[in-house]
A and B are shown apart, each in its own frame.
Chain A
Amino acid sequence: MSFLSGMFGGSSEPIEKEPSASAELFNSTTFRSNVQPSSSSSSSASSSSSSSIPQPPIDQPAVPTQTAPTALDAFGTAFDPARLHPLAGLSENLELLQLDEDKLNDIEGSASVLPSRGWTDDLCVGTGTTYLSGLLIGGMWGAKEGLSRPLGNNPSMKLRINSILNGCTRRGSFTGNSLGVLAIFYNLANSSLDSIRGRHDTYNVLGAAALSGAIFKSTAGVRPALVGASIMTAAAGAWSAFKNTV
């Protein structure tokens, strides 16, 4: 917030009146967006005409409500470029400091469980979810392996725990790393396809899955790459069908 005020104060320096500069700036912009200058001039003309022709009960309440915008609007149009310029220059930098709902991903059809703020967010959350689930699954696999490993006759508790932990770290890290790398490939391909095609649908998911599976197995040869691509496509298709039915 301190950076925000600093940047704001630094770039709004063409305005001479310092203390009320920001308040007037926001007022002028909101009034400009709401009320067009043509309508305000016509309303002022109509108010002058209504003062000559007596129609009090209809026009009199309309005149005071319109006078405040017209006065500020006429005042704002005189200073208009100088006032609007700092905000116009800041519009990209402001989002960096406070991006809530308006900076969300706007590619159509890409709404998911968590709101996303673009492809880096997708990448992080998708990779994190996949990596964590891979760690959990691999950890359970390793724990089962460590539980059932023969340790000679009459093994102590410490030895058994050590075996379980060894299994967890071996299988868990292997599964988590593989799935995490796969998820990185998938999310990169998915976001690239999204931005290329401009929307997000099932074909995109399937294409990204095929691409990531092929890349993941690409060093093993052509046949494993094709097998990997088809496995990933099938998995992504099953997931999409599951998501559509739910």
Chain B
Amino acid sequence: MSHGDHSRDPCPYVILNDFGGAFAMGAIGGGIWHGIKGARNSPRGERFVGSMSAIKARAPVLGGNFGVWGGLFSTFDCAVKGYRQKEDPWNAIISGFLTGGSLALRAGPRSAFGSAVGCGILLGVFEGVGVLMNRMFAQPIPQMQLPEQAPASPSPAVA
């Protein structure tokens, strides 16, 4: 964490990666979700057709929503990182605020501000949970050198 993330591309290129990752996640997850939903909502005998049409109609839209959100978030994240020259949880909160605000911009400034605050709070909760998890799992490191605490080591790897 202190050295940043070596498993990802450097900043301008990671935007493409995040766009694609978010879009693929939304589209594939939306395909599964709307496939099941469409099959459940169609009459017996037309379940496959209903599932297919629901997937075709809704999965790309959901993917697009996810993709725009993730890509915009990543863009703002890179911009905030470049401006502040730091990496801390505030980056994600600020970029979540900006993302929510700019996505709701057409609904008026009041609605945009509300959405921005909502997104910022959501990202703040995510980051807070991440920091808490990090602190919880990072605490027992000096004692983990002891042989008795070997089973504690797999749980940070999962997190």
Tell me, in angstroms, the Cα distance from A83 to B6 when the chains sit together: 27
Nearest CB of chain B from residue A124's CB, rounded to whole Å: 4
Complex contact B60–A10 (CB within 8 A): no
Q: How many residues of B contact A (CB 8 A)?
A: 44
Contact of A177 with B64 in the complex, beta carbons under 8 Å: yes
Interface residues on A, range: 35 or more
* CA A127 to CA B140, docked complex, whole Å: 41
> Is A10 in contact with B18, judged by CB distance below 8 angstroms?
no
Q: Determine whether the beta carbon of B152 is less than 8 Å from that of A10.
A: yes
Chain A residues with CB under 8 A of B27: 180-181, 184
A21 → chain B, closest Cβ, in Å? 9
- Name the prevailing secondary structure of the B interface residues: helix
B residues less than 8 Å from A114 (CB atoms): 9, 13
Enumerate chain B interface residues (CB-CB to A < 8 A).
1-3, 6-7, 9, 13, 15-21, 23-24, 27-28, 52, 56, 59-61, 63-64, 67-68, 71, 106, 134, 137-138, 140-141, 144-147, 149-150, 152-153, 156-157
Give the 10 A-B residue pairs with the shortest CB-CB distance, closest first.
A128-B20, A10-B153, A127-B20, A128-B19, A177-B60, A124-B20, A128-B16, A13-B147, A124-B21, A9-B145
29 contacts between A and B (CB under 8 A): A2-B134, A2-B141, A3-B157, A6-B141, A6-B153, A9-B145, A10-B145, A10-B150, A10-B152, A13-B145, A13-B147, A99-B6, A114-B13, A117-B7, A123-B20, A124-B21, A124-B24, A125-B16, A127-B21, A128-B15, A128-B18, A128-B21, A128-B67, A131-B20, A132-B16, A180-B60, A181-B27, A184-B27, A219-B52
